[in-house]
Amino acid sequence: MAQVGGALRLAAVGREAMALGLRPGQTLADARARIPHLVVEDHDPAADAALLHRMAGACDRWTPLVALDPPDGLILDVTGCAHLVGGEAELRAQSLRRFRHAGFSVCATIAGTPDAARALARFGRAGTVPPGGEAEAVRALPVAALGLEQDTRAALALAGLKRLGDLAGLPSRPLAARFGEEPGRRLRRVQGLEDRRITPLRPRPACWADEVFADPVAHRPAIAAALQRLAGRVADRLEAEGRGGRAFEASFFRSDGAVRRIGIRTGRPQRDPDTILRLLRERLDALADPLDPGFGFDRVRLAVAAAEPLEPRQPRLDGEADHEDAVSDLVDRLVARLGAARVLRFVAADTHDPLRSSRLVPAAEPGASSAPWPVPEPSEPPARPLHLFDPPQAVEALAEVPDGPPLRFRWQGVLHTIVHAEGPERIAPEWWRDPDAPTRDYYRVEDAQGGRFWLYRAGLYDRETGPPRWYLHGLFA
Amino acid sequence: MQPPVALSALRRAVMALEPGIASAAGRPFETGRPDLDAWLGGGLARGVLHEVHAGHARHPAAATGFGLGVALRAAGGRPLVWVRQDPVEARVGGLYGDGLAAFGLDPSRLVVVRARDPTGALRAVDEAARCSGLGAALVEMGGAPGILDLKASRRLTLSARASGVTLVMIRLDASACPSAATTRWSVAAVTSSPVEAKAPGRPAFAATLLRHRAGRPSRTWHLEWDRDSLRFSSPVAEPAAAAPLPRAVVSVPVGGAGPAEAGRRRAG
């Protein structure tokens, strides 16, 4: 039940209600008048869309090219896929069986173009249209099957054109002059004379390999062995094409229709089956919710989601390139285990603000070029600490006014007496970011035990408001 | 057969089995300070696990600095991995690129891994220990997690030995517990030799050798980190410099077949 305009109308009806004569679009009052004990629920379009997405995922087993036809349709491009399950008729029967088994009311049509199949499935007799038979098959369909705008449809109806067969007999030029280009184009598509690409839900993988089990498999070693064979097949194909994968995806199709997908990315193109397997295994081991085979997987797929040219390389005599590759592979494994946000590298920014001058970015992502790192003065002690607190930690400090170094300070309840100090190093805030931030005077200090600290005073005496506060910003080695 | 001969033969056989002493992982690397290197028998072993304990829980950065120095010496020009944990990060602060550059490590050579907990950190460092392209890997551990037992450290040593990656584990506040580390150090901060105008000087450490797998006796050195030549050096004014070595030191050839058996004992 959904609110349409001012009235509550039925958005969808169940099989029993359909048998009792209810139809979607009826007002709730009418329906109640006919069936007083009608059970209604609020319409939840988001849940419907999510369900359609899940169904599209389940259709992935037949072809990687699945498009949504909202609100309740799916379009599959099965070109070149049907023979894998034993022909188009068998493919259609198998998909219908699967969804009916799961409790859906479905109908399916296989035709030469997506529009023809859609029109026949929604408005005509379902089935498999032989190649070239689309024009004949759609003759009896109503004009609504073209999916035109409401006013064009009304105009066609006024002209007495009710069936696609009526339209098909007309010369196209007067038709276009009177009703616009759209009906003609739609008609050609529905008749199978003009094809169009569907926009698949998921991008088409560069290549993939499937392993189908006659009986569902839940045994882990069997799944691992299947992955190993798949990795070998994918690697062979990539090698033949002179390419390497940058992103891989393993899909596990459960016999009850659920699909679980595991993705990995690599820092450089890869086609070594052992490397791919190892990354997949890392990823599987690190899953927060482990792979649940339920009653078993009946199909496992390994797809290469992104591929790049990869020429066979001669190993360099000095072994330098191998080191780089080894580290890049290590980063891939760590990313597969811990996630990209936890494997990082430093990037320098061209700023004097200590909190922004060095950043950690994901190591697996290219780009983010680094500014040059500050070159330390020869024979000077380090001017910046190894560890930096973010945010800086407030401390109590005793210092000479106006800008003497602190004599002692208390941090985490411990009093540090300072014996050596250097400063101030005045770092003005970046006024274009935060105009009210106080100036900072930094001091490098050393206490009697040898602890070396980076302290600063926020604010200048008399010139900036309030009593200055002291902060510990970092620890020197 | 003379019993001492049998004993030294047995020792040699055990040496060959011990990870970290046999020459499988290659030449040892020098710390840069001659008397320390002589004491260690030519330097620290490459491709093994070295443990650095913070002598003072209040000054954890000294142990970090010493550990980073050891890792830099071991790595040569190769990349490093530094494995950190969220709790440690909250306690001692994050790594600072400018500070690493000021210490002598080009930050672009470093991969930082942030694990959630000790388990994740150990797995990450084990992964790093198997990557032969790395020079060294550092890991910081706070407290004494139960997972870090003898088995875990032995595993790390075996991985490191196969790849030649030197591992440095920085224990922020742990008392010594059994581990397969080749050397164990306790590092405390000491006041540096101030530069002009009483400014704090170069990073200075009091490093105590707590345990050495080849049986080197325990001793404390005052060291400074010389960023310009990337090595440890004697402080400008060192209190312990005047003290003579406790006894004559014979350098032991790698592999353990030396005449120094008499001075060797098991420690730890």
pLDDT digits (tens, 9 = 90+) for A385-396: 999 998 899 999
Handedness of CA A65, A66, A68, A73 (dihedral sign): positive
Q: Name the residue among B186, B188, B189 with its Cα closest to residue B200.
A: B189
The token pair that represents A310 in the structure block: 């990869």
For chain A, the residue count is 477
Helix axes B150-163, B118-129, angle to 10 degrees: 30
User: Looking at the partner chain, which of A344, A374, A452 has a beta carbon nearest the beta carbon of B98?
Assistant: A374
| Of the listed ranges A128-132, A207-211, B21-25, B84-88, the one predicted with least confidence | B21-25
Give the pLDDT confidence score for residue B249 in this predicted structure. 43
**CB-count exposure of residue B141 (10 Å: 0-12, 13-18, 19+):** buried
Containing H/E element for B180?
none
State residue A248's pLDDT score.
Answer: 92
Q: Report which of A175, A182, A172 is spatially closest to residue A150, judged by C-alpha positions.
A: A182
CB contact under 8 A, B78 and A374: no
Question: Which of B103, B110, B132 is facing A326, going by the closest CB pair?
Answer: B132
End-to-end CA distance of chain B: 31
Least confident of A37-46, A93-102, A358-367, B235-244: B235-244
The verdict on ipTM greater than 0.85 is: no
User: A211-229: per-residue pLDDT in tens?
Assistant: 888 888 888 888 889 999 9
Question: Any idea which residue has 């077949």 for tokens?
Answer: B257
Other C-beta atoms within 10 Å of A249: how many? 20
User: Quick one: pLDDT at residue A199?
Assistant: 84
Q: For helices A320-338 and A273-285, give the axis angle rounded to 10 degrees.
A: 30
Q: Pick from A349, A350, A427, A347: which is nearest to A392 by CA?
A: A427
Contact A450, B59 (CB under 8 A): yes
The Cα–Cα gap between A335 and B118 comes to 17
Which tokens belong to B51?
A: 């443990």
pLDDT tens, residue by residue, A80-104: 888 888 888 888 888 888 888 888 8
In single-letter form, the type of residue at position A454 comes to W
CATH of domain B3-263: 3.40.50.300
Q: How confident is the model at residue B50 (pLDDT cuts 50, 70, 90)?
A: very high
- Å from B229 to nearest chain A CA? 10
User: Which of A387, A411, A427 to probe by mutation at the B interface, max B CB count within 10 Å?
Assistant: A387
| Contact residues, chain B, for A373 at CB < 8 Å | 97-98, 101, 106-108
Inform me whether the C-beta atom of residue A352 falls under 8 Å from chain B C-beta atoms. no
Q: Quote the minimal CA–CA distance from B10 to chain A in Å.
A: 39
Q: How many CA atoms lie within 13 A of A475 on its CB side?
A: 23
Q: Choose the closest CB to B189 out of A329, A387, A450.
A: A450
Mean pLDDT of chain B: 82
Q: Residue B17 — very low, low, confident or very high, per pLDDT cuts 50/70/90?
A: low
Gap between the Cα atoms of B204 and B223, Å rounded: 6
Q: Residue A319 has what pLDDT?
A: 56
- How far is residue A60's CA from residue A325's CA, in Å, rounded to a whole number? 34
Give tens-digit pLDDT for A168-221.
Answer: 878 888 888 888 888 888 888 888 888 888 888 888 888 888 888 888 888 888
Strand partners, A444: A422, A454
Look at residue A1 and tell me whether its pLDDT is greater than 60: no
Portion 68-127 of A in contact with B at CB < 8 A: none
Does residue A437 surpass a pLDDT of 90?
Answer: no
Q: Where do the domains of chain B lie?
A: 3-263
pLDDT at B166: 94
Domains, chain A: 2-43 (3.40.1170), 55-190 (no CATH), 207-312+321-334 (3.30.1490.100), 343-375 (no CATH), 387-476 (no CATH)
Do the Cβ atoms of A116 and A127 come closer than 8 Å?
Answer: no
Q: Produce one character per residue of B24-42: b if its CB has 16 or more CB atoms within 10 Å, e if not.
A: ebeebbbbbbeebbebbbb
Closest-CA residue to A191 (of A183, A180, A203): A183
The average pLDDT across B162-174 equals 89
How near does any CA of chain B get to the CA of A469, in Å? Answer: 20
